[in-house]
Structure 1
Amino acid sequence: MALNTQPNLARPDDFYEALIDMHRDLDDAQSQSANAQLILLLANHIGDHATLIEALRHAREGVADAPARSAGAHSLAA
């Protein structure tokens, strides 16, 4: 299964809102745990090892290309 990196969400704004809501009222540790659980659930759903490795590579490259955040910044915790 090839990794689809093209926009593929039927309702991207609704998903983003739900993702932000998932983090609402969580502390940093709980937010990180929720992210990890979501990643593992979606990885299990995908199931294909090669696709998951490609996704990991893309995610790592995206972080390497992004400007550094300040130490106090929070990415998704609302």
Structure 2
Amino acid sequence: MEDTDHLILTPNIDGADDFYADLLAAHEGLSKAESDALNARLVLVLANHIGDRSILKQALKAAARHPQ
């Protein structure tokens, strides 16, 4: 497999703290249902951007292994 065939699980976001602040700001003032819907839309937008089913399957498995 090429490197692009693996899900990146190490820190890989420029300005990660800034992104986190943006994410929190996007949820500000939303009800639980609105916040959940925003998260669902964000997941679908990012999944579409990734576009690789193999990577998306790896992401699903990684997320399922780390429940909150």
Is the shorter-chain TM-score for this pair beyond 0.5, marking a shared fold? Answer: yes
**Alignment partner for residue 48 of structure 2, among 14, 31, 44?**
44
Gaps of 5+ in 2: none
- Richer in helix (by share): 2
Map of 2:37 onto structure 1: 33
SS in structure 2 at match of 1:8 = coil
Gaps of 5+ in 1: 67-78
User: d(CA) in 2 for partners of 1:42 and 1:12?
Assistant: 16
TM-score (normalizing by structure 2)? 0.91
- Percent sequence identity over matched residues? 42
1:1-78 to structure 2, matched below 5 A, reads: 1-63=5-67, 66=68
TM-score (normalizing by structure 1)? 0.80
Number of residue pairs matched by the alignment: 64
Aligned-residue Cα RMSD (Å) equals: 0.7
